[in-house]
Each structure stands twice: as structure tokens, then as C-alpha cells.
Structure 1
């Protein structure tokens, strides 16, 4: 039976993320997480479905891709399939062909797990190493330090305040309360929490969303931001501790985050919170007319 690529209907996207959650284990390379799709869901279910690609053999889901922007494909593979040749060749061919409905012509990027055969095949086809990303992880088997600041779990009535901190944390962000509600309506948010840290004067200083993949599996931080007016006071470390504690309560085995290696401040914040630098991974890119 041949491997087929598809785009799920919005109503079936929850089924895809539930299978994807089952792939998140500490003994496999960190890859696209249900939380990545959950964060993308801020743009609505229909747009999220259009940005999702699946590769299946019959009814068996083998790989999931998220078009995290029109020029970036992020990939995840079912356990045991990282080096499966037929699957890798099909994914590589679809990623490389501008007419396949995956990536357009021009400069495009693929992010694939460490050790995946698709990385080797793309490199053989002329794809080059691109931006470096640092993976950090914290084992949640032991208790996590108290954040030391007031941390609140945010619900619909405070979505605007959480959104304002996110906007003030990332240059160019347009995140608002409406997008929070869209994100919270997505299937992955059933296993997610949004947290807000305040300074001693009660001002909102830092925000984070954490995504569980279920008990005994890797949890994800996406996003984490400190308001530009509150940096340099330990709020990043505090909200990281709060995120880890929340995922531990949800039963996650560990917490992971990927951040650009050039984001030295972000990397330093995660390290100061006790996370360990696990590895550095390069994405791949090609540039065609």
C-alpha cells in the first residue's frame, strides 16, 4: 500500500493531534508537538487545517507536517519510522516539489527531527543547513522550585491581559484576545494552560502557554514571553518555573522548548531556570526560482 499525503478537514484535526500526542516520548527526538498545532490554532481551525499535512499508509498515520508560515515545514514522525525509506522519500519529494501543495518555489525551510532519514535525503538533493535551534529540556520527576512571584492561570475573562503581555514580549506580534479565544477553542487546548506572572506591584510581567501531550509524555512551552518593560528582574526564570510546575501537575514527564540559538537571552533564561541544553539542530533550506 502506497503512502499518501493529505490535508485534514478542520473537523478531523483533533484526531490528528491526538495521534501526534502519542508520539511524544522522552526516548525519541523532540519533534512537532500537539502544542505547536495548538498555538497555531490562534488563527482558527480552518486555517490550521490548511496548514497541516499528513502522510499515511491506509488508515495508519505515519508523519505530520505543520506549515508554520508559508515557507517553513515542521515535521513529526510516528515512533519507529524516522529511518523508514519509503516514508522519507515521499516526504522529501513532497517538500521539494513546488507543485506538490506543501512548499512554494523560492527560499523555503524544513525542520525535521534529529536522525530522520528525510534530512539526509534533502541534503543529498541540495538542501543546505540553515538556522540553528537549541533544544532545552527539564525532567519533571523531581519537584520544581516555587516561582517566587504571584502566578495566575488565565481563563477567558482575562484573555485580553495575557494577550497584551504576549504582544509586548515579541516585536511585531499582533496577538489579541480574539486570537486567544480561537486558540482556546482548539482540541489541543484541553491539555494546556495559560499562566501570567505579576511583579510586586501587581503588574502583568510575563506570560506562558504550556501544552501537555498526556501523562508520561513530553510537555511543551509555546510561547513564553516577558513584557519589554519588565525584563532583567527574573520574571523569565519565574514563569519558566511556573510552566514546569503546571506541566508536572498535568502529568508530563518532562518539559521541552526549542528556541533560536541566536536568542542568547532566551537560552540563558531557560538555563537559569534549571533546564538543560540537550542539543542544537539546524533546519534545512533551499532557494529555487
Structure 2
């Protein structure tokens, strides 16, 4: 049967996250994670559903994309379909034709798994390498070191503090207590935790959200931040260790994170917390 392009409804978001959960495999290239959908859910269920695209054949989803910002599609492909010629051809058609409604006209980027055929075909069409990203992974077979600071799991009563740390850590962040609640209402958050680290004066200095994809599968850190006036004191390493420990408790086989390669400080922080640097990945940009 032919490949069909679809947009899930709000009531299908849980099923969509479940598809991504099944695609998370050890040893596979890092790609879109159910936690990415969970983090996007801060904008609400309707906005999340509107940002998702699926490509299916005979009722089975083979590729799934998240429009994660203006002109950026983050694309995941089923493990057994990454070299599927028919799927790759249809993806190229939908990504290169503005009339398809997947990507807007003008500047656009696509993030794909490094071994996906669609990546090769887009390059043949003249798409160019864009911003390099560094994925990092920490195996969770063994125990995780104590972070050395007090770390608390955030519930609804701590949402305001969690949001404050996020806004302080990321310039331009619009995260609020209300958006935390919208995120927490999504199905991916059932396998997630928000953590806040406090210093010796009991001030909230760093925060992270971790997302499990289920026992025996890689879990995700997204996002992690430290208040600017508290950087350089080991708080980033501490909250990253706490994140890895939380994912291990949730049954994750490993912890993964991806950061712009230009953010050398973040890369160094993750490596100091036992994360191993993986080969760089590059988005593709439409010329």
C-alpha cells in the first residue's frame, strides 16, 4: 500500500508517544524521543498534535516528525524502515514541496537519524549540512555517584520554582507554572521526573527534566539548566548525576542528551558526569 501522511488528533498523542517509545534502542542513532513530545506538550495538547506528522503504510507508522520551531522538522524513522526506498522517496516529496504543508517556504531544516536513506536523498537534492549537535550517552547498568547536593523531585507545589530556574537558565524561555502543568498532564510525563538542585543556602540553582521510554530503553535529559550566577560551581554536574540516577530508578538502560556542539561548556558538564561523547550529527538545511 502507498505511504500516507497524517496529523494525529489530541486523543492520539498517547499512541504517538508509544510509537516513539518502541523505536528507542540501545546502539541505534539518537533520534526523536517520546520525551521530546513530552517537553513540547508544555504548549498544550492541541499545539502538540498540530506539530506532529506521521507517515504510515498499511496502518503502521514508519516515520514521525515534530515541527519543533519555525522551519525545523525533527524526524524519527522506525528501526526497520530507515533504508526503505518507498518511504524515503515519499518523505523527500513531502519535505521539498511547500504545498505539502510539512515545511514552510523559505528557510527550513530537518533533523534525521544518521543512517536514514531520506538523509542521503535530501543531500542529493542539494540540502546542506547545518548546525552540528553532540549526542552523549551514559550507561546505567551500574549505580550512579551521589551528586553531593540536595535534590528534590518536583510536584505541582514546586512547579513555580522549577519554571523560575528554567527561565533564568535559558534566555528567552517562556516556561511558566501553567506550562509545567500542561506538560505534566501529557502521557509521556507518567514516565518522567522534574528535579531541582539546591545549594547550601537552600536556593534552587539547577533543574532538569528526565524522560523514560520504559524499562530497558534509553532515557532522555531534556532540558537541563543552571542559573547563570551559579555556574562554574559544579551544579551542572550534580543535577546531571541526579538525572542519571532518576532514569536508572525508572528502569532506563542508559541516559542520553543532545546539545549544540558549539556549547562546549554543556558538553564538558555532561562528560564530567560520566557521559560518553558520540559522533556528531548535523541537521540538513534547505538551500
Q: CA deviation at 1:259?
A: 0.4
Deviations 1:68-125 (A, max 9, x none): 0121000111121111111111112111111111101111000001111111000001
Quote the residue 1:140 is aligned against. Answer: 140
Q: What SS does structure 2 have at the residue aligned with 1:106?
A: coil
Q: Which residue of 2 aligns with 1:205?
A: 205
Aligned to 2:120: 120
Per the normalisation by structure 1, the TM-score is 0.98
Is 1:90 the equivalent of 2:90?
A: yes
- Give the Cα–Cα distance (whole angstroms) in 2 for the partners of residues 265 and 54 of structure 1: 35
What are structure 2's unaligned runs of at least 5 residues? Answer: none
The residue matched to 2:207 in structure 1 has which SS? strand
CA distance in 2, matches of 1:195, 1:169: 14
Report the CA distance between 1:13 and its aligned residue: 0.9
User: Hey, what does 1:234 align to over in structure 2?
Assistant: 234
Structure 2 Cα separation of the partners of residues 12 and 107 of structure 1: 30
Q: Could you list the runs of 5+ residues in structure 1 that have no partner in the other structure?
A: none
Count of equivalent residues = 287
Q: CA deviation at 1:15?
A: 0.4
- The Cα offsets for residues 28-70 of structure 1, whole Å up to 9 and x where unpaired, read as 2110000001000000000000000000012111111000012
| Aligned partner of residue 32 in structure 1, secondary structure | coil
What are the within-5 Å matches in structure 2 for residues 1-289 of structure 1? 1-287=1-287
SS at match of 2:182: helix
Q: 1:5 and 1:151 mapped to 2: Cα distance?
A: 43
Paired with 1:182 and 1:209, the residues of 2 have a C-alpha distance of: 14
Q: Residues 146-197 of structure 1: CA distance to partner in whole angstroms, max 9, x if unpaired? A: 1110000000011000000000000111111010000000110010000000
Structure 1 runs (4+) deviating above 4 angstroms are none
Shift in Å, 1:27: 2.6
Task: Name the CA distance, whole Å, in 1 between partners of 2:241 and 2:31.
Answer: 22
- Deviation of residue 273 (structure 1)? 0.7
1:228 CA displacement: 1.2
Distance (Å, rounded) in 1 between the aligned partners of 2:79 and 2:155: 34
In 2, the alpha carbon distance for the partners of 1:122 and 1:99 equals 17
Which stretch has the larger CA shift, 202-211 or 95-104? 95-104
Alpha-carbon separation, structure 2, partners of 1:92 and 1:13: 25
> Could you tell me how far apart the structure 1 residues matched to 2:46 and 2:282 are?
30
CA distance in 1, matches of 2:178, 2:97: 36
